[in-house]
Amino acid sequence: MDALSETLRVVRLVGAIFINARFTAPWCYQSPSASTAAPFLEPGADRVVIFHLITEGECFVEMGSEPPLRLAAGDAIIFPQGDAHRMASQPGLAPATGARLDVVLARRPRQLAYGGGGPTTRLVCGYLACDARLGRMLLAGLPPMIKVNVRGSNAGIWLEASVRYALAEARSPRPGGAGVLAKLAEVLFIEVLRLYMNEQGEGRTGWLAGVGDRIVGAALNAMHQKPAHAWTLDELARTASTSRSVLAERFQLLVGSSPIQYLTQWRMQLASNLLCRSNASMARIAEEVGYQTDTAFSRAFRREFGAPPAAWRRDQRARLSAP
């Protein structure tokens, strides 16, 4: 399994499509920052990422001092840092005033329809919530906005049609519509990341850039496939068909750490996932993530998370079970 697939298997993504909108020009919609919306979208979430998919017409997105960005049907845009932004039929419009955010998000997907009666734009808004550490790793080095056109891939065309179907099902009396939309939100987010990886040019850094790099990607894939293996820099360099120095330099440039430091961090993420989602013993978890003794595992885990694994497991379970 490649590094991206393995990471997405471990990352606990929770998503939903929460707005289904039909706007007619002129119109302007203010999207708050993810930190403001998170308590209403996914209470207790460490990291929330907002995205929009344009299904009909066109619009512009404005964010801070960035120049307005035009979006057309089939475009998906993700805000990795969850920055506040505006969606509008043309730049410079004042956003409409509406109900409080908690009222707007009380029912999902919320149907929004307003505007001046001109050309129509349809879009859906969604979010993904994930663990803070894994979110930082997965989204490191990404620009404030990521735009791709999903109609450029077979998966994207299928996804867009599926979203339309699921939105219609969400309004039907049959159960399960919200669950289908939640899964589609996750798949859409992953497809946008995959398309972005294929389109990104030279000079990008971050974990996704590393996955897409021939040398660094080979080392990442090896460590993700066999995280318990006693990898050395020499062995990783041979796997990537390069020298120790080239691998170390390129890995540091793109990922921001040495390969062995990254391996330790990834092992700790796997351990935290096992602690949260299983009842496995400390000895079993230590073995699965490459430690020979409970003591060595506990020391490494405490350095990363600030608490021994048993205490951390109790705290996480208490937090998740709290109302």
Within 106-176, where are the H helices?
Answer: 132-139, 154-170
d(CA 3, CA 193) in angstroms, rounded, equals: 13
Residue 227 pLDDT more than 70? Answer: yes
Residue type, 85: H
- 284-291: long-range contacts (C-beta < 8 A, 24 or more apart)? 285/309, 287/228, 288/228, 289/227, 289/228, 290/227, 290/228, 290/229, 290/230, 291/267
| pLDDT value of residue 153 | 77
Winning range, highest mean pLDDT, from 1-10, 13-22, 262-271, 310-319: 262-271
Of 47 and 102, more confident: 47
For the whole model, what pTM was predicted?
0.83
Q: Which of 299, 288, 303 has the alpha carbon at shortest distance from 226?
A: 288
The rounded distance, in Å, linking the Cα atoms of 13 and 271 is: 17
pLDDT in tens, 176-194: 667 777 888 888 888 888 8
Query: What's the rounded Cα separation, in Å, for the pair 249 and 220?
Result: 14
Q: pLDDT tens for residues 278-321?
A: 899 999 999 999 999 989 999 999 999 999 999 999 988 887 66
> CATH number for the 213-321 domain, one of 1.10.10.60, 1.10.3720.10, 1.10.3470.10, 2.60.40.10?
1.10.10.60
Strand partners, 113: 22
Could you tell me the two tokens for 296? 């060595």
CA separation for the pair 186, 130 (Å, rounded): 11
CA dist., res. 313 & res. 323, Å (int): 18
Tell me what pLDDT residue 135 has.
76
User: What CATH number labels 3-199?
Assistant: 2.60.120.280
Per-domain residue ranges of the chain: 3-199, 213-321
| 172 φψ region: left (φ > 0), alpha (ψ -120 to 50), beta (else) | beta
